[in-house]
Every structure is written in structure tokens, then in C-alpha cells.
């Protein structure tokens, strides 16, 4: 559409596609917007999209690790509450 727009390399396009599949957007409109950006093949827009998705994934990972730790510590506290089964009668 615009001859002045630098085209993104195949490698960059594939990276954006891979990150999009990992982002796990629940809203189809977000996924659609990302697909449109990839489809545009614009070097600038795809570079920006890659950095946005990388940021999102790293934030999600940090939040997930926090959640995992919290749940692990709650589970540890819950363990002794598990009803103890009596030892089998000999």
C-alpha cells in the first residue's frame, strides 16, 4: 500500500507470530489487531508489536511466579490439616 514503508524480514514476522500465540489474548479483537499488524508487514509496526508482546509475556511470567509462590506457601500450611489416616492394623 505504501512504498515508503520498510518491510519486515520473514524472521521478524515469524517471531511476532510466535509471541502472539504465546500471549494468549482472550479478547478476539486484540488478537485480530495483532494479526493485522503482522499482515501489514511494516517493519516499524512489527518491531513495536514484538516489544509490546515481549513486555506483556515477561510481566505475565513475573505475576505467575508470585502467584505460584503464594499458592505453594498456602498449600504447605494446608498439608498438616489433611485428615490423617490411622496406620493399618497389623
The verdict on 17 binding another protein (CB under 8 A) reads no
Site size toward another protein (CB under 8 A) is: 39
CB-based contacts of 70, cutoff 8 Å, min separation 6? none
Phi, psi of 42 (to 5 degrees): -70, 125
Q: Which position among 81, 85, 86, 89 is part of the footprint of another protein (CB under 8 A)?
A: 81
CB-based contacts of 22, cutoff 8 Å, min separation 6? 53, 57
Helices 28-40 + 43-78 axis angle, to 10: 150
- Beta carbon nearer to another protein, 3 or 88: 3
Q: Which residues bind another protein (CB under 8 A)?
A: 1-2, 5, 23, 25, 27-30, 32-42, 45, 48-49, 52-53, 55-56, 59-60, 63-64, 66-67, 70-71, 74, 77-78, 81
Amino acid at each position: 500500500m505504501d512504498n515508503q514503508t520498510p518491510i519486515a524480514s520473514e524472521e521478524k514476522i515469524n517471531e511476532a507470530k510466535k509471541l502472539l500465540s504465546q500471549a494468549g489474548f482472550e479478547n478476539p479483537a486484540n488478537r485480530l489487531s495483532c494479526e493485522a499488524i503482522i499482515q501489514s508487514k511494516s517493519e516499524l509496526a512489527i518491531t513495536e508489536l514484538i516489544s509490546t508482546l515481549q513486555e506483556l509475556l515477561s510481566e505475565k511470567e513475573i505475576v505467575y511466579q508470585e502467584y505460584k509462590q503464594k499458592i505453594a506457601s498456602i498449600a504447605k500450611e494446608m498439608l498438616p490439616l489433611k485428615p490423617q489416616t490411622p496406620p493399618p492394623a497389623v
